[in-house]
Structure 1
Amino acid sequence: MLPTGANLQKIWNGKKTYAVTPHIPGGFVKADALRKYADVAEKYGATLKLTSAQRIMLTGLKAEDVEQVWADLEMQPAIGFANCVRSVKICPGIAFCKRGKQDSIKLGLELDKRYHKKEMPSRMKMGVAGCPNSCAEVYVKDVGLLATDAGWNVYVGGSAGSHPRLADLLIEDLTAEEALHIVDIIVRYYQKNADIERVGQFIDRIGLKKFKADVLAEFYKGVSETTEPLVSQSAAGEKIIPVAGGLTEGTLVLGDKITADSVISDIIRVYPQTVPVFRSFGMGCLGCPSSTGEAVQKAAEIHGIKVDEILAALNKVI
């Protein structure tokens, strides 16, 4: 199993090194916290790395040091598990930027408070940009909010990774309160209806027209459901046909044996019961972009795992 709150980074001469990334909402960090980062990095010989999600990662750690690193930092991990809201990227907005048109910090921190680490069908990233320059990269976020003079425009389905996809415009000129309301609807709709797929992949599967119609109908109705969202899985016996260049690069379907050449994302979509097996081998990033094209053989090599052992465990549960 992976050390608590850590990611495997690199294997050097058979020795594994790990990284930890504390949560820093919006990338705002106080001076005393920065000093703590520096002290801990020096104590454990770690390298500090600024991440694209506005955080500070400590990498190059030994497995046996991870628990004490967290204790010394007195901070919480940024990532709870693979399939959750991973980050909310926020630009300076009107608080600090001369080009800001709306308060992106206030809105972004509220989104972070509501959704960070919340379980999702796959990984989800959000972005809040205070002007059309889009420094928070809303066009490659699962949910992106872009400020204009008239209010907030909402985009859905963006992602980078091995299959980049630009987000689709959902609705324009909302107030901050309306923007929060429609994000809530988007999140619940995605949780209820998506398989193990990013928002953009989900939209491509059901069609933008249906996604937009369903979400906007709920928004204009103004009714908020109170039932807990459920993550749907593939129905028993359903044959899943992979979408080339979209959901996956593999060809696995229900009934096939898992082999060294089977693609990770294929396996977890067709056989979702394999997710705990992958995690038991320390492979927690099941929603990462690499999983859409990475075979078990390659993933095992990267994680320092014997491929025969993981294949036996995977095929046992299916």
Structure 2
Amino acid sequence: MLPKGANLQKIRDGKRTYAITPHLPGGFIKPEVMQKYVDVTKKYGGTMKLTSAQRIMITGLKAEDIEDIWQELGMQPALGYANCVRSVKICPGIAFCKRGKQDSIKLGLELDKRYIKKEMPSRIKLGVSGCPNSCSEAVIKDIGVIGTDDGWDVYVGGSAGSHPRLADKLIEGLNYDDTLRLVDIIMLYYQKHADIERIGQFIERIGFEKFKADVLAEFYGQVSAVTEPKVPQSEAGEKIVPVPGGLTEGTLVFGDPITADSVISDIIRVYPQTIPVFRSFGMGCLGCPSSTGEAVSKAAEIHGLDLPELLAALNKVVPANN
């Protein structure tokens, strides 16, 4: 079991080290809180790391120290669902930047307040940029918002990782309230219709035309005229036809046993009943970029798991093997 609020970072000579990453909305931190970080890091022999999500990670920690560290920081463990809204990256906007066109801090902090750690079909990252320079990398976020002279432009489906994708522009020129309302509609639509897939993969599967039509129809109070696209269905023994931007790089089909070479995302797409098994082994982030091309053997090695034990548990819930 993972220590509460920690992530496994490294296994070296059989010894495991962990990291904690307290939530810092927008990357803003008071001097007295920063001092706590410094004192605790020194005391427990850790290292501080500035992350790309505007947080401060303390890494190189021992499992038995994690609970005391949270207490000494005076913080609750940064808990959430494995697949959830991970971060809202915010640029300085008009508050601190001469090029800012919109108040990215106000909008970003409100989005953080509404959505951070909320459960989703897969991980979600948001970016809020106060001008088209897009210092918060909005176009490679699942939902990105960019300020212009005319208001907020909203983008969807961006991601980095092993399958990078630039986001599609959904709408432009929204005011503050309408932007929040549209983001809420996007989130609800994604939660209702997506598989264990990033928003970009979801869009590639159903088509951007349908995604845009459905979301904007809800936004404008209309009825979408775009019909559901035909998606290949998988039945016993039938080969799955890959779709653009799909989750898997593997070849697993229904009825196949799970082997050391089976790709993680392939397994959970074909056998979703394996999700609780993965989670019971501490492998909760099943929608991360690594899962799209990582075999079970590699994942077991990274997490320090016994491969035969993991494969046996996975195959136990596969219908063909029962």
Shorter-chain TM band: over 0.9
Cα pair 2:130 2:146 within 8 Å, conserved: yes
- Runs of at least 5 residues in structure 2 that lack an aligned partner in the other structure: 224-232
Give the corresponding residue for 1:50: 50
Which segment drifts farther, 77-86 or 164-173? 77-86
- Counterpart residue identity of residue 107, structure 1: L
- Matched residue SS, 1:305: coil
Partner residue of 2:315? 315
Work out the number of aligned pairs and report it: 308
The residue correspondences of 1:87-106 to structure 2 (distance < 5 A) are: 87-106=87-106
Runs of 4 or more above 3 Å deviation: 76-79, 235-246
Equivalent residue of 2:88, what SS?
strand
Q: Conserved in 1, the CA contact under 8 Å of 2:91 and 2:130?
A: yes
Matched to 1:210, the amino acid is K
Cα contact 1:24–1:78 (8 A) shared by 2: no
Q: Is the 8 A contact 2:205 2:246 kept in 1?
A: no
CA-CA distance at 1:272 after TM superposition: 1.8
| Preserved CA contact (<8 Å) 2:200 2:245 | no
Counting only pairs closer than 5 Å after superposition, residues 122-161 of structure 1 correspond to structure 2 as: 122-161=122-161
**Unaligned stretches of 5+ in structure 1?**
224-234
Answering whether residue 38 of structure 2 is matched by residue 18 of structure 1, we say no
In 1, the alpha carbon distance for the partners of 2:79 and 2:53 equals 11
Residue number in structure 2 paired with 1:63? 63
Aligned equivalents of 1:93, 1:27: Cα separation in 2: 14
Between 246-255 and 158-167, the greater mean CA deviation after superposition: 246-255
Whole-angstrom CA distance in 2 between matches of 1:27 and 1:293: 31
1:176 aligns with 2:176: yes
After TM superposition, give the deviation of residue 168 of structure 1 in Å.
0.1
Aligned residue identity for 1:289: P
Give aligned-pair identity as a percent.
76
Task: State the shift of 1:244 in Å.
Answer: 6.6
RMSD: 1.8
2:221 equivalent in structure 1: 221
- Contact 1:241–1:253 (CA under 8 A) maintained in structure 2: no
- Would the aligned equivalents of 2:102 and 2:130 in 1 still touch at CA under 8 Å? yes
Shift of 1:241: 3.9
For residues 297 and 285 of structure 2, the distance between their equivalents in structure 1, rounded to whole angstroms, comes to 16
Asked if 1 retains the 8 angstrom alpha-carbon contact of 2:204 and 2:244, the reply is no
Give the counterpart letter for 2:220 in structure 1: Y
Normalised to the residue count of structure 1, the TM-score between the two structures is 0.93
How far, CA to CA, are the matches of 1:294 and 1:277 in structure 2?
17
> Secondary structure of the residue that 1:146 maps to in structure 2?
strand
Structure 1 residues 122 and 175: CA distance shift in structure 2, 3 A: same
Question: Counterpart of 1:208 in structure 2: which amino acid?
Answer: F
1:19-46 superposed Cα distances (whole Å, 9 cap, x missing partner): 0100000100001100000111011111
Q: 1:195 is aligned with what amino acid?
A: D
Shift in Å, 1:245: 6.0
